[in-house]
Chains A and B, each alone.
Chain A
Amino acid sequence: MSASLSSARRQEAATGYLFALPYLLLFLVFMVGPMAYGFYISLHEWHILGRQKPFVGLANYRALLADDLFGIAMLNTAYFALLTVIPGNALSLLLAMGLNARIRGETALKTAFYLPVVLSVAVVAIIWRWAYSTEFGWINHYLRLLGLPPAAWLNSPKLAMPSLALMSIWWGAGGQMLIYLAGLRGIPEELYEAAMIDGAGARARFRHVTLPMLRPTLLFCLVMAVIGSSQVFGQSYILTAGGPLYSTLTVALYMYQTGFSLYRLGYACAVAYALFVVVLGITLVQFRLLYARREGEAR
């Protein structure tokens, strides 16, 4: 009896491995392997054309700490995250709530909000490059018509990053909106009715019903938004090339430049790893927050 059970177990295990194998194989070759290989490269002076690729230990990481451009890139990336994560999620949530208010034309509106999400970064950048142009762009054209001073959207170190952030919010808000919408649809109607009976106004209902019920969705979206914004690349790669005066130089762009323009792969991998470690840290903190709240709820 127990023998047959364990043989059934063994068979199940074998089947399990078999089913997971194709994925795990690719996972190994294109995810785990490259992670390890990248770290190995980061321990070397690794110029693509160099005949020798000498081992240098942690020298690349030490150089990183002394590299003020890397510091600038980290701060810029954090700034971009700040500019996009909170406002972007707030906008997405507002849109979702608007859609959830039994509004007519929901499908058309939803489609409109989601439309930019399906565009590729190259297309987005081309569209906005023109819009933002100081002399010739249509944003400034209308500002002038309104008698307002035109702004140097991409050509001022103060405005460049916020401009990229605005564009990114435009591009991505629709994606989060769908998640929030799904989250809102999952909140049972009775809760609102109960709150109404207790005399709660709209604001109170939002604070005491919507927000608590939505918290897991909210925190999840925030986590993913932080991860996403830490990888910001295409926007500054295409629109500003990191300028003016390094104000849009992000970590991912810096990594790309050192790796694929200067061919210093060892250093580029060190940059990527440093970014990874920081993002991992932030994510762990966020997850801890998430789970702490959940336990609180369970009480």
Chain B
Amino acid sequence: MSRPPTNTPAPPGALAARLRRSRAALGAVLGLGIALLALLPASCGRAPGTVAEGGAIRFWNGFTGPDGATMERMTKRFTAETGIPVRMQIIPWATYYDKLTLSLAYGDAPDLFVCHANRIAEFARYQVFAPIAPLLAADPSFDVDDIIPRVRSAATYCGTQVALPLDCHPQGLYYNARLFREAGIVDAGGRAAPPRTLDEFLAAARRLTRDEDGDGQPEQWGFAFTWLRTNWITFLSQFGAGILTPDLSRAALAEPPALEATRLMRDLIYRYRVAPKPEGIDAWMGFRQGRVAMAIEGIYMISSLQTQPGLSYAGAPVPRFGPNPGVWGGSHMLCLPRDLPAERQARAWRLMRYLSDHSLDWAAGGQVPVRRSLLRTARFRRMTVQYQFSHQLPYVVFEPPSPKSNEVTPFVDSAIQAVLLGIQSPRAAAADASRRINQVLERP
């Protein structure tokens, strides 16, 4: 019955269990760091800011999976051809920009890094990029006009080109050709016929949505939304709408054309019943399982399909849902940090140029090159899905080039998710998101 009076109660288990979850858990002081240094001398080899063994180009990107392997091969070939070593760091996109920003803010920035088109304005506002113009001027053999103007302008902020676009990754229509043939949606030659208009799309989707056991839960869906925000942008663009007004000063989601596009998306689920409620990643798994017949996704998804034998997939341009052609696209842009010494900059430029010149190799893994000369090649035509998707380049739409684009994104995500899950009406969701977006835009 004795309970030591000194005891402040502190069961270690609970505490540890909790603390472990926070970062602090580990414990206490290391004997002044001295003990630690003694403990780990061999392993502490990597000092911060250790730039590059033997003057290698430090190149950061977020290309995980097959993309990363492709990029690795390309840089190796570059090294073999030029003798310039490349030290590539792959940081998954989920944390990539955190790391990149910190390195840009506190030094230790890489010599060359990838930035998505939709983040260019945000970073350019803080002047972290080195302008590209001097490098272009110093390398007259590089024809900058070979780059598709629409994409090139996405690499420009306030009239200054700050990046070299490596690729473009528009969305397109992926469809399961076997399911199309089974449903009899074929052309005269018996080949699966992807829809080109809204009516064709709805007709196909209805036939492809099948509830075999009649429980009201289709086992197979005609269509599924995957990445909601970009799917939304595709629909919006076809109705002449967008997230922000063209001058980027206000939200445009509550304007009539935007609402029309949003309602159409909602109707695919609740009125036409040809698509399930969205579940992000799982919808794409459904496509891979053969339970979803169509999805609108980026060209980069091709690599995940290529590894899956037996799936009869194909690609086509996104159908015309609204009055205008339009499709969301992104682009990987090659960027240099400001304040890079001239000779390191020149070396990094050689790699940039090499990657651009060889962007067909890159495209094979699921990208569309943005050099007109490469788009015309026979080799590119043989990349069937990429080639199909590339037809959309003339009307590809990037996310609004506002420095606040990234801050606005969570509200956009949340609004379209709420609409498609049936939580909010299109009008209410748009009003909600617009209010929040305008608040962000008004803040200096």
Chain A residues with CB under 8 Å of chain B are: 21-27, 31, 47-50, 69, 117, 121, 133-136, 144, 150, 152, 155-157, 172, 175-176, 178-179, 182-183, 188, 191, 216-217, 219-221, 224-225, 227-228, 231, 234, 241-246, 257, 260-263, 290
28 contacts between A and B (CB under 8 A): A22-B30, A25-B32, A26-B28, A47-B126, A48-B101, A49-B104, A50-B126, A117-B17, A133-B279, A133-B282, A134-B277, A136-B289, A152-B277, A155-B278, A175-B17, A176-B17, A183-B11, A217-B11, A221-B11, A228-B22, A231-B21, A234-B21, A243-B417, A244-B421, A244-B423, A245-B417, A245-B424, A260-B98
Q: How far is the CA of A243 from the CA of B429 in the complex (A)?
A: 14
Task: Tell me which of B18, B102, B104, B276 contacts A135 (CB under 8 A).
Answer: B276
Nearest B residue to A237, CB-CB: B94
B91 close to A (CB within 8 Å):
no
Task: Tell me which of A26, A27, A228 contacts B18 (CB under 8 A).
Answer: A228
Q: How far is the CA of A48 from the CA of B17 in the complex (A)?
A: 33
Chain B residues with CB under 8 Å of chain A are: 1, 3, 9-18, 21-22, 24, 28-32, 97-98, 101-102, 104-105, 123, 126, 128, 217, 276-279, 282-283, 285-286, 289, 406-407, 410, 413-414, 417-418, 421, 423-424, 436
Q: Are A243 and B413 in contact (CB under 8 A)?
A: yes
What 18 additional pairs, Cβ within 8 angstroms, besides A224-B15, A228-B17?
A24-B29, A49-B101, A49-B105, A69-B436, A136-B282, A136-B286, A155-B279, A179-B12, A182-B11, A228-B21, A228-B22, A231-B21, A231-B22, A243-B414, A244-B421, A245-B424, A257-B410, A261-B98
Q: Are A157 and B423 in contact (CB under 8 A)?
A: yes
Residues of A within 8 A of B286 (CB): 135-136
Q: How far is the CA of A255 from the CA of B356 in the complex (A)?
A: 39
Q: Are A245 and B414 in contact (CB under 8 A)?
A: yes
Q: Are A22 and B32 in contact (CB under 8 A)?
A: yes
Chain A interface SS verdict (over half): helix
Q: How far is the CA of A260 from the CA of B17 in the complex (A)?
A: 26
Quote the shortest CB–CB distance from B34 to chain A (angstroms). Answer: 9
Quote the shortest CB–CB distance from B98 to chain A (angstroms). Answer: 5
Q: Are A244 and B414 in contact (CB under 8 A)?
A: yes
Q: How far is the CA of A227 from the CA of B285 in the complex (A)?
A: 38
Nearest A residue to B32, CB-CB: A22
Q: Are B421 and A219 in contact (CB under 8 A)?
A: no
Residues of B within 8 A of A150 (CB): 217
Q: Are A27 and B29 in contact (CB under 8 A)?
A: yes
Q: How far is the CA of A35 from the CA of B410 in the complex (A)?
A: 29
Residues of A within 8 A of B31 (CB): 22
Residues of B within 8 A of A157 (CB): 423
Q: How far is the CA of A290 from the CA of B424 in the complex (A)?
A: 45
Residues of A within 8 A of B279 (CB): 133-135, 155
Q: Are A23 and B406 in contact (CB under 8 A)?
A: no
Residues of B within 8 A of A220 (CB): 9-11, 14
Q: Which 8 A-B pairs have the closest CB atoms?
A: A175-B17, A228-B18, A179-B11, A49-B126, A26-B29, A23-B29, A220-B9, A178-B13
Residues of B within 8 A of A244 (CB): 414, 417-418, 421, 423
Nearest A residue to B435, CB-CB: A68
Quote the shortest CB–CB distance from A5 to chain B (angstroms). Answer: 25
Q: How far is the CA of A183 from the CA of B217 in the complex (A)?
A: 50
